[in-house]
Amino acid sequence: MASVELTNVRKVYAGAVEAVKGVDIAIKDGALCVLVGPSGCGKSTLLRMIAGLESITDGTVKIDNKVVNDLGPAERDIAMVFQNYALYPHMKVYDNMAYGLRNRGMPKDQIDKRVREAAATLELTHLLERRPKELSGGQRQRVAMGRAIVRNPKVFLFDEPLSNLDAKLRGQMRVEIKNLQRQLGVTSVYVTHDQLEAMTLADILVVMNAGAVEQIGAPLDIYEKPASTFVASFIGAPPMNLIPVTSDGSGLILKDGTRIGAQGLAVTDKDAIIGFRPEDLEVATGTESHVGGLLLDLKVLGVEPVGAESYVYGIIGGERVVVRVAGRSVSQPDDHLRVIIPKEKLHLFGGNGKRL
């Protein structure tokens, strides 16, 4: 059990490529921290720096209040689950799980006990004598998990562990990982590019972009109050609609020249971006008040019914938007709708993309 603390961690590769630019993250004991971001944002590099597989250019990494910068991966008491599982192909499942314990000189009977316990937890007992190539993707994933938990480490590190599984299995394993992590109470760092995985797993969510942290917080806080347009468009599916506007002091003007009422919206920047979640639009019936909200004209381009809900694609002020409607939508392409964005659902970003 341990906390993990990163202070101003930087990674500069030869050739002066700054992969990680001064990251501060504090993870409480037992929490599951998810690093999420597009590929190349430095999240995997950061994880590998915590693991000790990548050197730390600057800053400190603390595990259990101890600086581990100069310790090798074996001495940090961590376990890692790799994207490709990294199971030893020439060893049976049992030996895969026992390998780390044997290297640490644990007595045989204890190894046996631990491996069998971990195998029972993960329902792997009947597979212990098999080799990795005789297992399905989901089973291999479990073995990789088993190899991590059998060591009983201070910290679990997950490097996109579910991205090689099919969608159905991924959902299932996601729940299992969450439960297992809760049950064992081991501090974990989990890297993914899948925002759904990030939202559902995280106790603390770290959104990264281009080597820097964009926002840290509880998943729903981030969803409700994204700190920047990047976070707004990365978290949530479909992503938040973002419409660039200009302000002339008396109101907001859309790209196509439409002037929209913006009572109570304090926009001082000349350029700004208004954002709203696809589920936050209401179709105006003409009677409701929209004080402080925005009343906009939406031209429907197409409708995608996916069962429980429908996505209506349209254009507002020259920008493409998507609206999530419960059940079936009656809209047809080329329909014109009057829609309202309630004031409390409206997100405002400055011209630089930061939340106002």
Site residues, another protein (CB under 8 A)? 51-53, 72-74, 78-80, 82-84, 86, 88-90, 99-100, 103-104, 133, 147, 151
Residue 97 CB, nearest approach to another protein (Å): 10
Q: Kindly tell me which of 52 and 278 has the beta carbon lying closer to another protein.
A: 52
Q: Kindly tell me which of 59 and 73 has the beta carbon lying closer to another protein.
A: 73
Q: Kindly tell me which of 85 and 276 has the beta carbon lying closer to another protein.
A: 85
CA distances from 347 to 33, 197, 199, 259, 293 (A): 26, 24, 20, 18, 11
Q: What gap in Å lies between CA 290 and CA 295, rounded to an integer?
A: 7
Q: Kindly tell me which of 110 and 263 has the beta carbon lying closer to another protein.
A: 110
Residue 71 CB, nearest approach to another protein (Å): 12
- Strand (E) positions, the chain? 4-13, 17-27, 32-36, 58-63, 66-67, 78-81, 155-159, 187-192, 204-209, 212-217, 241-247, 252-254, 259-260, 271-276, 282-283, 294-305, 309-316, 319-326, 336-341, 347-350
Tokens representing 133 are 């190539």
Residue 49 CB, nearest approach to another protein (Å): 13
Q: What gap in Å lies between CA 296 and CA 337, rounded to an integer?
A: 8
Task: Please report which helix (H) or strand (E) contains residue 8, including its range.
Answer: strand 4-13
Residue 208 CB, nearest approach to another protein (Å): 21
Residue in this structure with the two tokens 């990030």, named with its chain if needed: 198
Residue 45 CB neighbours (<10 A): 20
Residue 156 CB, nearest approach to another protein (Å): 11
**Do residues 316 and 297 make contact, with C-beta atoms less than 8 angstroms apart?**
yes
Residue 39 CB, nearest approach to another protein (Å): 17
Which of 139, 128, 203, 133 shows the shortest CA–CA distance to 169?
139
Residue 181 CB, nearest approach to another protein (Å): 18
Residue in this structure with the two tokens 């939202």, named with its chain if needed: 199
Residue 106 CB, nearest approach to another protein (Å): 10
Q: Kindly tell me which of 145 and 323 has the beta carbon lying closer to another protein.
A: 145
Q: Kindly tell me which of 34 and 80 has the beta carbon lying closer to another protein.
A: 80
Residue 144 CB, nearest approach to another protein (Å): 9
Query: CA angle 132-136-140, nearest 5°?
Result: 50
Per the document, the length of the chain is: 356
Q: Kindly tell me which of 104 and 225 has the beta carbon lying closer to another protein.
A: 104
Q: Kindly tell me which of 142 and 147 has the beta carbon lying closer to another protein.
A: 147
Q: What gap in Å lies between CA 20 and CA 211, rounded to an integer?
A: 4
Q: What gap in Å lies between CA 127 and CA 133, rounded to an integer?
A: 12
Q: Kindly tell me which of 103 and 183 has the beta carbon lying closer to another protein.
A: 103
Q: Are strands 155-159 and 78-81 parallel, antiparallel or unpaired?
A: parallel
Residue 187 CB, nearest approach to another protein (Å): 16
Q: What gap in Å lies between CA 67 and CA 74, rounded to an integer?
A: 15
Tokens representing 161 are 């562990």
Q: Kindly tell me which of 82 and 311 has the beta carbon lying closer to another protein.
A: 82
Residue in this structure with the two tokens 């429980």, named with its chain if needed: 308
Tokens representing 262 are 């913006």
